[in-house]
Amino acid sequence: MATKKSKKEPQKPQKGLPTNAHITGAGEVEQQIITDTLRENYMPYAMSVIMSRAIPEIDGFKPSHRKVLYTMYTMGLLKGGLVKSARIAGETMKLNPHGDAANYDTMVRLSRGNEALLHPFVESKGNFGKAYSTDMECAASRYTEAKLAPIAAELFADIDKDAVDFVDNFDATMKEPQLFPVTFPSILVNNNLGIAVGMASNICSFNLDEVCETTIALLKDPDHDILSTLKAPDFPGGGQLVYKREDLEKIYDTGRGSVKVRSVYTYDKANNCIDVTEIPYTTSIEAIIAKVSELVKAGKVKEINDIRNETDLNGLKITIDLKRGTDPDKLMNKLFVSTPLEDSFGCNFNVLVGGVPMVMGVRGLLDEWIAFRMECVRRRVYFDLSKARERLHLLKGLEKILLDIDKAIAIVRETEEEAEVVPNLMIGFGIDQIQAEYVAEIKLRHLNREYIVKRLKDVSDLEKLVADLEDTLKSKARIRRIIIDELQTVAKKYGQPRRTQIVYATDIVEETEAEEPVADYACTLFFTKEGYFKKITPQSLRMSGEHKLKEGDDIVQTVETTNNRDLLFFSDRCAVYKSHADDFKDTKTSVMGDYIPAKLGFEEGESTRYMAVLAEYTGFMLFFYENGKVAKVEMSAYATKANRRKLVGAYSDKSPLIAAYYVPQDSEFVLTSTSGRRLLLHTGAIAPKSTRSTVGVQVLTLKGRHTLQSVVPYKPGSLTKESRYRTKSLPAAGAMPQAEDFGEQLTML
């Protein structure tokens, strides 16, 4: 897209200005291609956000985290006392010039006082706020103090031994590490959230002991079953994780998915109240109280007298006062369904590997970390080897001197000029300049027998050390052994019990108590091809005009029903999402309506195929497949105890779905193949199944490359000669249509 170039007359110079004050071209609009402008201006910004700000790298840190922690390391804060946070934030400006407030906020999240991380890297003193509360903000940096936590030593263990690359800071006045040579997979131990341009990252935390054990197992056996050692995510705030193996397998394999976490509560019988002491990591105290209060005000929850925040120095606490006779467990089950007391953590393991953003599962992340750590250890061993070789080289020269000290003393004494001492020693003993320089600096007091014996022993020890280090460099197995030993040490020093309890989905008692009756009134439901939904009352429908639809969209289902009906939305990924007509507000034809994939939380790219409206779970779902098969599934197979429950495997994926219909009782359908043949099918001829994913039975016989093309309910009288299209046995090929067979033209609904 380009803007039009306008031509304007040159403006006359203002009075009092010289005639040459006019700027040529001023006021003119230059033509620009918008795609070029985006590519030249916006893309560099987007890449900068992705590469240098929002996405963590394989060491588990974003650049801002790394700059704060490295600054604290250079300030000597691994040892000694705490210092003012303002000083740390100011010093970090040398590496991160985005403002001391931003640096302080970064440090706050890394601190123990904020409780945002499973293993904080910063010890804190003062008010650092709380991650689980939006109202409890941290104090100003001039009031708080901080230092590095003991576990931070694992970030810098090899940093002075060339284990990682160093790069210039923003103004090239000092160096900073490109990555930390962290001795354990911090990328999985502490949770990380980042929102970039066009992509995001959301990594949950896992228990340190379990991560180290799993990494050790993978080092020994690349095919190790990760779920056997890495049980489930472990969140800083605790809670109860609802364990579903299939959900965890998806996260571990692909890096995407979600897990449900519910709050932990106790019932205080003496005061007739519920005390919530642990909440999901993804929510806050204020969000929970607001939602519960909303339900109470709306009359949907009548068992609560009061809810308040009683969090203090002893920790998180939300107190819910109950009315007399209330069952606390039943109430909490109801609140789990309708409030953030139970919430989902959406995983998106997006990590920068070699400067490239990659979404990986747990195995992929650990494999990349192992490769990264092996390179760190290899570089550290090479650094130690170089130092040992240098030391050995010096001692080899000293060894030659010590074998004939009198000769060395004579050379030094007989040399007239100081500058000639080193060359003469080189000539006299056949050593190089570096060795001669070292010998020449030896103090006279060291020329004794004890010193000579020790130095000769050092030569022997260094020769063994060099040989050992050289062998280590050549052996990947020895490097793996080093990493295993380090992981075992880290787990022993810093490991802690799980904070998040694991509860199995099969052990959870769902809320089955009858809900408050919803207002029941007549309404008409409209569902479009693109997935938009409208609920309109008869009064509003009579007063409305044409439907507002998205361009290219059409209404494919119109159902006259009432407000207390269940709605089942079948997606193109063999899933079904359950809702209620009452969940949607009454609307008008002049609005677009609710977009079902967004409303019900479909996965990215998932779209709707069919809407079933039912009062009871009776009747059947019919699925017509491209290969000519038809599946007849009892509606009871879709009954669930909770609202908006997603069911996977709602129908078979063995063949593309052509059409789906809900029928309260058996009826007739007209099937048309790509060859033009039509079959009049009565669904009573198909045996129903209770298994949702059944592949169905062959109904339409297809030859060659022909497939089932369309399916429509049969309207009695629309075919003059119905018998031509009926069959006594299945499967059947159907019949080619003839003009005299039709009374009323069949159309797609």
Instruction: Give the integer Cα–Cα distance in Å for 342 and 334.
Output: 10
Q: Give the chain's domains with CATH numbers.
A: 61-181 (3.90.199.10), 264-340 (3.30.1360.40), 367-493 (1.10.268.10), 517-613 (no CATH), 616-749 (2.120.10.90)
Beta-carbon neighbour count of residue 456 at 10 Å?
14
Q: How far is CA 726 from the centre of its chain?
A: 54
Give residue 641's pLDDT.
56
Is the pLDDT at 145 greater than 50? The verdict is yes
- Kindly state the tokens that stand for 354: 């070699």
The answer to whether 407 touches 428, Cβ cutoff 8 Å, is: yes
731: preceding bond cis by omega (within 30 degrees):
yes
Coil, helix or strand for 565?
coil
> Residues 536, 544: contact at Cβ < 8 Å?
yes
Confidence at residue 4, expressed as pLDDT on a 0 to 100 scale: 43
**pLDDT at res. 513:** 43
Nearest-angstrom CA–CA distance, 199 and 50: 8
Instruction: Give pLDDT tens digits for 515-526.
Output: 456 678 899 999
Please say if the pLDDT value at position 14 is more than 70: no
Residue 94 has pLDDT above 90, yes or no: yes
The residue length of the chain stands at 749
The alpha-helical segments, DSSP class H, found in 316-448 are: 328-338, 362-402, 405-414, 421-429, 433-440
What is the distance between the alpha carbons of residues 360 and 362, in angstroms, rounded to a whole number? 7
**48-57, 93-102, 230-239, 272-281 — which is least confidently predicted?**
48-57
Task: Using the structure block, give the residue that is written with the tokens 């180290």.
Answer: 212
What's the confidence (pLDDT) of residue 504?
A: 87
Note the pLDDT of residue 319: 96
Rg (C-alpha) for the chain, rounded Å, is: 37
How does residue 749 score in pLDDT terms, banded at 50, 70 and 90?
very low
Q: What is the pLDDT of residue 517?
A: 60
Would you please indicate which residues are annotated as catalytic (active-site) residues?
A: 143
User: Whole-angstrom Cα distance, residue 117 to residue 124?
Assistant: 13
Q: Residues 419, 434: contact at Cβ < 8 Å?
A: no
CA atoms of 371 and 206, how far apart (whole Å)? 20
Query: What is the band of 3 on the pLDDT scale with cuts at 50, 70, 90?
Result: very low
What is the rounded distance in angstroms from the CA atom of residue 418 to the CA atom of residue 653?
90
CA gap 326, 311 in Å, rounded: 24
**What is the 3-state secondary structure of 651-671?**
CCCCCCEEEEEEECCCCEEEE
Helix axes 362-402, 433-440, angle to 10 degrees: 70
pLDDT greater than 90 at residue 743: no
Residue 137 has pLDDT above 60, yes or no: yes
How much is the mean pLDDT over the chain?
Answer: 88
Tokens of 656: 């593309």
Amino acid making up residue 121: F
Q: Would you say residue 626 has pLDDT above 60?
A: yes
Please tell me the distance from the alpha carbon of residue 178 to that of residue 163, in angstroms, as a whole number: 11
- Segment 378-408, tens digit of pLDDT: 999 999 999 999 999 988 888 888 778 888 8
From residue 241, give the alpha-carbon distance in Å to each of 251, 499, 595, 597. Answer: 14, 10, 30, 26
pLDDT at 177: 96
Residue 640 has pLDDT above 80, yes or no: no
pLDDT at 457 over 70: yes
Query: Would you list the DSSP string of 204-226?
Result: --B-HHHHHHHHHHHHH-TT--G
pLDDT tens for residues 510-550? Answer: 544 444 566 788 999 999 999 999 999 998 888 888 898 98
Residue 192 clears pLDDT 80, i.e. is over it: yes
The residues near 549 (Cβ < 8 Å, ≥ 6 apart) are 528, 532, 555, 592
Instruction: Identify each DSSP E strand in 263-360 by its residue range.
Output: 264-268, 273-278, 304-309, 318-322, 342-348, 350-353, 356-359
